[in-house]
Amino acid sequence: LSAKASKPTINCTMLTPVVHTLGEDSACIAYVLLLQYLDRNGQAQSIRTEETRIWHKKDARWQCVHFHRSGQPISAIKSS
């Protein structure tokens, strides 16, 4: 049996967020997400994606009703 691989520590930064209000009960935010981590060899790696989220306020609570991501898949982060 092999030892369980540990997951890398990831630094997550939201860059250049832009918020568009779409009335009193909805909004759209678009931003660049930068993920930085050390791979299993100790080499610095980064992944950059563009993300958009649509939010809707219902019963005094904001809920994300739509999400889109473009760019390198976050699943590319591997500890092995």
Residue 5 lies in a domain: no
Query: Which residue segment(s) compose the domain that 17 sits in?
Result: 10-76
3-state DSSP helix/strand/coil percent for the chain, to nearest 5?
5, 65, 30
pLDDT score at 1: 40
pLDDT score at 39: 87
Q: What is the pLDDT tens value at each position of the chain, 80 positions in all? A: 444 556 778 999 999 999 999 999 999 999 999 999 998 899 999 999 999 999 999 999 999 999 999 987 777 676 54
How many structural domains are present in the chain?
A: 1
State how far the Cα of 63 lies from the Cα of 44, in Å rounded to an integer: 34
pTM of this prediction exceeds 0.85 = no
State how far the Cα of 12 lies from the Cα of 46, in Å rounded to an integer: 10
We report the CATH number of the domain holding residue 44 as: 3.10.450.50
